[in-house]
Structure 1
Amino acid sequence: MRFDLVDLRLFLAVAESGSITAGAEQVHLALASASARIRGMEDVLGVPLLRRDRRGVEPTDAGRTLLHHARVITQQMQRMRADMGQHASGLTGQIRVLCNTSALAEFLPDALAGFMASHPQVNIDLEERLSYDIVQAMRDGLADIGVIADSVDYSGLQTFPFRDDQLVLAMSPSHPLAMQLKRRRSAAFDEAVAYEFIGLAGDSALQKYVAEQAAKTGKRLAYRVRLRSLDAVCRMAAGGAGVAVLPESVVLRAQGAMAIRHVKLTDGWAVRKLLICVRDLDTLPGYARELVTSLQPR
């Protein structure tokens, strides 16, 4: 079996992007050359590595096995470069981080900015996903670090504390739901589902999470508008356009600039602990291990 590092980097890029064309561009190969390399790996192994359809490609079971080993090998190469960095100049590291909506919007920007300021040689590839998608990607070796909610099964991964994340109902003080709740500071999600909602765009991890919780009760939420940012949703809710499900930290930050009321959701799914997860901390490059340490509460 003969695979070189270009083959492995290509296969990782194709699997992560879901496209041979996009993967080839990432590793600076012509499409024909990339396709030939993928076919060559499949011929050597005697099994298909990718499942192809009109939407793109995804790894087969054999492809997932190769992904794991390819990820380990490339991580070892990154770790070697980082460890040799003290002896050479101009070397850079790359950390792939997957996170859910709350982590991306509320907690990670400041934490990552501080780390990157003190580590100018490190670049971070940050992507938002659902927590259970992050867990699967981590198990498959498709990312270095994940930030997930503890509501998913993360068995097999090493985890470390990150932040607490309380979801709340947010609305204008004059909204009918606010009138219904009177002075109450908490409410069940079921008390709000009859009202119109303001939400995030459909590809948001938080939006999908809330929709899943509604579906479990047999309800489908009615949305007046969907926006791209939590701050925009907060402003619309304060303006009386509808009810929103938001992280409490978002609403608390906004209260100094607008009149907005919030009540804590009492449902179990609304009280989440955010966790940092990795496959194996000891196999990560030194700079990635430093990032895991810096993200934990002090």
Structure 2
Amino acid sequence: MSTVSTAVPAFGLGTFRLKGQVVIDSVRNGLELGYRAIDTAQIYGNEAEVGEAIAASGVARDDLYLTTKVWVDNYAPEKLVPSLEQSLAKLRTDAVDLTLIHWPAPDNGVPLETFMAALAEAKAKGLTRAIGISNFNIEQTKRAIGVVGKGEIATNQIELSPYLQNRKVAAFLQGEGVQVTSYMTLAYGKVLGDPVIGAIAERHGATPAQVALAWALRLGYCVIPSSTKRANLASNLLAQQLALSDADMQEIAALERNGREVSPAGLAPLWD
């Protein structure tokens, strides 16, 4: 995929909680298997290792889609651009494809309008080709669009799984032309033991993880699953070829239980 594309790739490799040699191996394996989108963040503490793995892979930069996220400590206008420049140095690139505000952090002391303007400045400087948000509710997304303009928010990366389907937010985003990126699509692995998911997997000769990922893809969401195991990385990719039936989708729709896994105090919004 060429970086001239502004679309967020439907399938990427997540690196949350992966550190040191573990993340180097995961990214290396992912790139060897055909992943071409890598998602990281300043707070993950692994940008340098991700950059190292990419450099060693021999995959051309133009064939990759790199996403990072600005941490809440760097939202002030005098900090955001310098922090992103540090991220670029670690990732060994002149620009990333997408930079997100990691959390709305309403109690952070930096107004949303201020940090969104600083993010737009980073794009204007050529440090990132696209900008977006993560963990924003509907009202915050509207405000963000108000600052940077309609069509400028590439994605809102939100927790979303068969147990937390976030339909109201997803419908709003899709109506605004903002790509939904689903993280924690497997709910920390909890959905892998679900009997309904398991039965669907059995019918298709697939794995539960493939079913959950295929469900999100069918709804038009991007997914960024992570794994430390090469076999799982390869297996996850096959979700792109799994065609779930309307009946399958209805069964998964019925699994909604508002099962949110991540909601850090002070960083998270009031969820819709």
- TM-score using structure 2 length: 0.24
Q: Normalized per residue, which structure has more strand?
A: 1
Q: Which has the larger radius of gyration?
A: 1
- TM-score using structure 1 length: 0.23
